[in-house]
Amino acid sequence: MITATEFTPISGLAGGLLIGLSATLLLWANGRIAGISGILGGLITPSRGDTGWRLAFMIGLLAGGVVYSLATGGMDVDIQVSWPWMLVGGFIVGFGTRLGSGCTSGHGVCGVGRMSQRSIVAMCTFMLTAGLTVFAVRHVFGG
């Protein structure tokens, strides 16, 4: 199992390059931003002629994890929270992506790369909130 203290620069660099490449290809090929919440939201409330690329992107996103798992003999994941809490967290994240007009993939990978001021502010807000949440969970609530 991978722990939080394991430093893996090669796989991190390779993953980052692949994410950046896929975001660039989507922008060049379709003129679309690779924001996962927006892509998924477009599948939930589809527009005519706009679902094919969204479905292909989401299938590819899920297939990447399956291919990795098959190639490496599986993923050893230790989930330390119950399904109900994961669902609550998912709904909160979904609400936050609507409130923030995007998620870390759209703002962070695509928006910051395009020097979008709105995305830079959003990413600073995301990172500050994440840092405060980790501090609160670990040091205030003793998690």
Distance of alpha carbon 57 from alpha carbon 42, whole angstroms: 12
Residue 32 lies in a domain: yes
pLDDT at 4: 57
Q: What is the DSSP letter of 80?
A: -
In which domain, by residue range, is 25 found? 9-140
Residue 99 lies in a domain: yes
pLDDT in tens, 28-42: 988 888 888 888 888
Mean pLDDT to the nearest integer, 57-84: 87
In this structure, which long-range contacts are made by residues 30-33, counting pairs with CB atoms below 8 Å and at least 24 apart in sequence?
Answer: 33/106, 33/110, 33/111
Residue 81 lies in a domain: yes
pLDDT at 135: 93
Is 109 a residue whose pLDDT tops 90?
A: no
pLDDT at 143: 65
Distance of alpha carbon 87 from alpha carbon 64, whole angstroms: 23
Number of domains in the chain: 1
Averaged confidence pLDDT in the chain: 86
In this structure, which long-range contacts are made by residues 94-99, counting pairs with CB atoms below 8 Å and at least 24 apart in sequence?
Answer: 94/37, 97/37, 98/37, 98/41
Residue 1 lies in a domain: no
Is 76 a residue whose pLDDT tops 90?
A: no
Structure tokens at 138: 């670990």
Residue 40 lies in a domain: yes
pLDDT in tens, 14-31: 988 988 898 899 889 888
Q: Which residue has the tokens 């996962």?
A: 36
Residue 4 lies in a domain: no
Is 3 a residue whose pLDDT tops 60?
A: no
pLDDT at 120: 93
- Asked if residues 53 and 30 have their Cβ atoms less than 8 Å apart, the reply is yes
C-alpha torsion 139→133→88→77, nearest 10: -70
**pTM score of the predicted model:** 0.73
- Asked if residues 94 and 37 have their Cβ atoms less than 8 Å apart, the reply is yes
